[in-house]
Structure 1
């Protein structure tokens, strides 16, 4: 996938904002539970973003294969991304 959807970029920006918020919480001495809760939200957001990117990549690879512009290596690369993202 060479280009990234605006929605995906916005997800990354949201995660970036959450991480900045977590750093601020740490500087302000927030309790462990609040920090861990926010870190869990960041992890969940990152996992979902990875899923969106990988699924789009897989879709593009499959479309390339069906249009005969690519070979099975493209599909294998997409599958490797899925495994790596877990």
Structure 2
């Protein structure tokens, strides 16, 4: 699968958020602030997973439909990936 700039940029933002959290911890920021930022990172990772899975699903479905192949298993695999990621 080819990962586009949107996905790469999402991960770069997440990387920046994690570095910011490390800075907060080094500065001794309070627990609530650190946990709030960690929660934001987790949500950003979850959204990135969803974008990757949906993009891959769309690509696989298009290819299979063009070849006249069955596609049901792709949806199950995508759902399984999303469930496992949680």
TM-score scaled by structure 2?
Answer: 0.85
Size of the aligned set, in residue pairs, is 85
How far off is 1:72 after superposition?
4.9
**CA-to-aligned-CA distance 1:15-35 (integer Å, 9 cap, x gap):** 000000000100110000000
Q: Give the conservation status (yes or no) of the 8 Å contact 1:65–1:72.
A: yes
Consecutive unaligned residues in structure 1, runs of 5 or more: none
Q: CA deviation at 1:74?
A: 6.5
> Cα gap change, 1:69/1:4 in structure 2, threshold over 3 Å: closer, same or farther?
farther
TM-score, structure 1 normalization: 0.85
Alignment of 1:1-86 (within 5 A): 2-68=1-67, 72=71, 75=74, 76-86=76-86
Segments of 4+ in structure 1 off by > 2 A? 69-74, 76-86
- Let me know the Cα RMSD of the aligned residues: 1.9
Unaligned ranges ≥5, structure 2: none
